[in-house]
Chain A
Amino acid sequence: MTDLTCKLLILGAGPGGYVCAIRAGQLGVDTVIVDPEPPGGTCLNVGCIPSKALIHAAEEFHRLVEIAGGGSPLGITATAPAMDLSRAKDWKDGIVRRLNEGVSTLMKRAKVRHVTGRAVLRDGKSAVVQTAEGEIRIEAEAVVIATGSAPVEVPSLPFGGKVISSTGALALTEVPKTLAVVGGGYIGLELGTAFAKLGAKVTAVEAAGKILPQYDAELTRPVAARLEALGVRVLTGAKAEGLGEGGGLRVWTTDGHDEIDAEKVLVTVGRRPVTAGIGLENLGLEMDGSFIRVDGRCRASMRGVYAIGDVTGEPMLAHRAMAQGEMVAEIVAGQTRSWDRRVIPAVCFTDPEIVTVGLSPDQARAEGHEVLAASFPFQANGRAMTTGREDGFVRVVARKEDHLVLGLQAVGAGVSELSAAFALVLENAMVLEDVTGTIHAHPTQGEALHEACLRALGHALHI
């Protein structure tokens, strides 16, 4: 058994952990990071990145299928496109590998030591890591728990066989003819939409009364319309009961029991923090439900122990974990930092995409604000017309008394890129006049942000 000592030990090399490691290294903190998987965590290996690659491939293929269907207003014709999913998977895996290597290089450059293996904490200052080369004991002054999250299993539908998680879906090399998606949240709908575009007959089963329950109906309506156009069957208020005798998925709806044809059953009912198997019981940290309780500096209840990312709760988003990781590195390096972010943008890569930053009109009212809310539809946006996607809108929510922007939301093709502008507006505490006083380039979708704010002030120009 070899021994390592360092100032900072990080468990988990996902977006939270590796950013924490790089920043700590930049600040001269002697850092060791441990993860059994290639660096990048869920996001890079089996989450954000590969799913976006699959979504892109599916979209490209689907476009050709539509063109081949004839009647393209653009005058393009094509004949019977075909999809080789295993090649697309290779392409996607190539991107993942390049990014794995990129993260490794960045950490190396920051003089971070990277240990591949599974770490178990013995106490708040040390851990034992099982590696291919044997056991390593690591002593550290500070420990960061960044072990992330994993898909939740449904007891009646254990993973295995035809029941797959998002990870399994991303590893498919053939498009299933029929696919049942259990859980109508953003992960299920992103992947379900992709497989529908690839030619699968998709059924989405959501227990709540509507898909994407965390968003308001105005935002999800264009997504629901698109799903319908893609032939995705959506069952809301439905409960998956297990696999049926016919090999499909048994569901219960208000109409009674039914069995859905399903070559594969994709279960995406949520994610749970990974807190088991890392020796957390040896620390006796205070918990917040299944999450590790942290304070405004991401400090857990034991001195010198920090937690960041999905293990600390919602929203489980890579960019939140990254910001926390950066902050903790600076705190460990002796800087005065605390969590002072106003907003965490959230993007849903369905078709069309949804981006939300800050408060929705209802949330703002619930917080007691008098609200000015206005939206600008992409139907009136030149750029949207030229890309053939006029569905969706940009919506702004501002406080009536002083025009402080409280929230920005959009739904539409490609609106994920508006998240940067939205977050800047919110994080910098801008008022409507700050946005309307900024020139937005023409012709771009971003003009809809400008117009929505103008409209909130009562003088939109293009509607």
Chain B
Amino acid sequence: MGILSIRLPDIGEGIAEAELVEWMVAEGDTIREDAAMVAVMTDKATVEIPSPATGKVVWLGGEPGRTMAVGAELIRLEVDGPGNMKADAAEPAPAAAAPEPAPKDAPKAAPKPEPKPESVARPAPKAARAPASPRKEGEKPLASPSVRARAREAGADLRFLRGTGPAGRITHQDLDDWLSHGGPTGGPGRVQPDVSVEEIRVIGLRRKIAEKMALAKREIPHITIVEEVDMQALEDLRGRLNAEGGERLTVLPFLMKAIARAVKAQPALNAHFDGEAGVIRRYGGVHVGIATQTGTGLMVPVVRHVEAMGLREAAAELARVSAAAREGSATRDELSGSTITITSLGPLGAIATTPIINHPEVAIVGVNRMAVRPFWNGTAFEPRKMMNLSCSFDHRVIDGWDAAVFVQKLKSLLEAPAMIFVDG
């Protein structure tokens, strides 16, 4: 038997560190070769790292949420073979956050025996106690005499309190909380104020989203334009195309194509603005990011080179990358490199929104809900399928005029969809 130490592998070009998102194994588990042992997250992609060998997990390199350097020790397995560490020297290294200079193919030198970190030395508290359950009927509330005396003074009946202490003991804090929430007016039939606070560590994708949103809002002075679009013609066209069979088309591929068309005339909108360097990068290719709700949070899979795609091609690629994002199998490439982004909440899309630009892009197109609305055609009201677009722009580099021109262009393209596809 030997101990095999496994280090965080190089998971993509230019990636120096990754965040531990979830362990699929616990200490003591047996893991088979190639089974996923841990999920780590880089810039945006979540990657599952498979085990290179079959063995028993004896040490985990950190808690979820910890950022690890590539090459840092990730996990140790007890394996049948000789392993790459001496078993007796297999004292876990302290879970240091700083990356240790560990070459990828580390020599077989046993690491220095160092004091065990507490998280390893502590035996697992098996007697995990259930959270304070409601008292059985007729059971006296648990509280120290001083808490009881205070409750008496305050006119609080402890039978109506729920204790947060061990065994459901009512603490001074519980009494304070109860009293500060209207306390004595409570009766047995009254719904007790829920004063619980659940702490959730913002890690993984949620942390990335939070950082990204904060960055965008902090750096970019947004200007948002809301415009109404008559979608009747596009909807008629879409209906016909769908009637032809094939994969069902949504509005999004039309919009992607319209954007590709519009930015041809206004390349300033298909760009990244590096504020620090003071450089705008205008891209020839139109890489449309699609803000997508996934089980773990907001992701932006990217459809690359929309300018070179046909409508159905764009639709198929959109379906593929967004499915990959939802399943969590999207690669890093599929989740980065967009030059302009579409955000759509579909039927939840509201009348207007204020989209946040996908930094470092300079424009985002928000799609609002489509609905049949009365439209004045000059002589009468006519029921038409209408939809609003809410588009935000980086006002540092996009002037209001240019923004308005872009939105009008999108509007005219969508209202006369043939224009999207006709060249010249």
B145/A427 in contact, CB under 8 A: yes
> B152 at the A/B interface (Cβ < 8 Å)?
yes
Q: Which residues of A contact B132 (CB under 8 A)?
A: 402
- Give chain A nearest CB distance to B144 CB in angstroms: 4
Q: Is the CB of B167 within 8 A of A399?
A: yes
A429 at the interface (CB under 8 A from B): yes
Q: Identify the closest chain B residue to A433 (Cβ).
A: B166
Across-interface contacts of A340 in B (CB, < 8 A) = 145, 148, 152
The residues of A with any CB-CB pair to B shorter than 8 Å are: 336-338, 340, 342, 399, 401-404, 427-431, 433-434, 457
A391 to B153, CA, bound (A): 46
Within 12-48 of B, Cβ neighbours of A (below 8 Å) are at: none
Closest to A338 in B: B152
Given A336-B153, A428-B145, residue A434 in contact with residue B140 (CB < 8 A):
no
Bound-complex Cα distance A433 to B127 (A): 11
A-B contact pairs, 6 of them (CB 8 A): A336-B153, A340-B152, A342-B140, A402-B130, A402-B166, A427-B144
Within 8 A of A (CB), among B156-207: 165-169
Q: Which of B318-376 contact A (CB under 8 A)?
A: none
Q: Are B143 and A401 in contact (CB under 8 A)?
A: no
* A340 and B142 alpha carbons, distance in the complex (Å): 11
CA distance A402 to B169 in the complex (A): 10
Cβ contact of B129, chosen from A337, A338, A402, A430, cutoff 8 A = A402
- B155 in contact (CB, < 8 A): yes
- Describe A's contact surface by its main secondary structure: loop
Q: Separation in Å of the A1 CB from the closest CB of chain B?
A: 42
A305–B140 Cα distance when bound, in Å, is 27
Q: How far is the CA of A345 from the CA of B132 in the complex (A)?
A: 27
Q: Do residues B166 and A403 form an inter-chain contact, with CB atoms below 8 A?
A: yes
Q: Which residue on chain A has the smallest CB distance to residue B123?
A: A459
Cβ A428 vs Cβ B129 within 8 A: no
* Complex Cα–Cα for A401 and B127 (A): 9
**Docked CA distance A342–B145 (Å):** 9
Q: Contacts A340-B145, A399-B167, A403-B166 given; 8 further ones with Cβ under 8 A?
A: A336-B152, A336-B153, A403-B127, A403-B167, A431-B167, A431-B169, A433-B166, A434-B166
In the complex, are the beta carbons of B153 and A429 less than 8 A apart? no
Asked whether, in the complex, the Cβ of B155 is within 8 Å of the Cβ of A431, the reply is no
When chains A and B are docked, how far (Å) is the Cα of A430 from the Cα of B130? 16
Q: Give the CA-CA distance A401 to B148 in the complex, in Å.
A: 24
B144 CB contacts on chain A under 8 angstroms: 427-429
Say whether B167 contacts A429, CB under 8 Å: yes
| Chain A residue with Cβ nearest B170 | A429
A459 to chain B: closest residue by CB: B123
Nearest to B132 among chain A residues (CB) is A402
CA distance A337 to B155 in the complex (A): 10
Taken together as a complex, chains A and B put the C-alpha atoms of A401 and B131 apart, in Å, by: 10
With beta carbons under 8 angstroms apart, the residue of A342, A427, A431 that contacts B166 is A431
Between B130, B145, B153, B167, the greatest number of chain A beta carbons within 10 A of the residue's beta carbon is seen for: B167
Chain B nearest CB from A438 CB (Å) reads 14
Q: Smallest CB–CB gap between B87 and chain A, Å?
A: 27
Nearest CB of chain B from residue A456's CB, rounded to whole Å: 11
In the bound complex, CA of A433 to CA of B125 (Å): 12
Chain B min CB distance to A205 (Å): 40
Give 1 or 0 for each of B125-143: 1 = CB within 8 Å of chain A CB: 0010110110000001011
CA of A62 to CA of B152, assembled, Å: 51
CB distance from B159 to the nearest CB of A (A): 11
Nearest neighbor of A404 in chain B, beta-carbon distance: B167
Interface residues of B in 234-250 (CB under 8 A from A): none
- Measured in the bound complex, the distance between the Cα atoms of B152 and A457 in whole Å is 35
Closest to A337 in B: B152
A417 vs B168: C-alpha distance when bound (angstroms): 29
Q: Is the CB of B168 within 8 A of A402?
A: yes
Q: How far is the CA of A338 from the CA of B153 in the complex (A)?
A: 12
CB distance from A453 to the nearest CB of B (A): 13
Is the beta-carbon distance between B129 and A429 smaller than 8 angstroms? no
B165 to chain A, nearest CB (A): 8
Chain A residue with Cβ nearest B142: A429
A429 touches B152 (CB 8 A): no
A402 engages B153 (CB within 8 Å) = no
Chain B residues closer than 8 Å to A401, beta-carbon distance: 129-130, 133
Contact B145 A403 (CB under 8 A): no
Do the beta carbons of A403 and B142 come within 8 Å of each other? no
What is the CB-to-nearest-CB distance from B225 to chain A, in angstroms, rounded to a whole number? 60
The residue on A at minimum CB distance from B140 is A342
Contact call A336/B166, Cβ cutoff below 8 A: no
A433: chain B residues within 8 A (beta carbon): 166
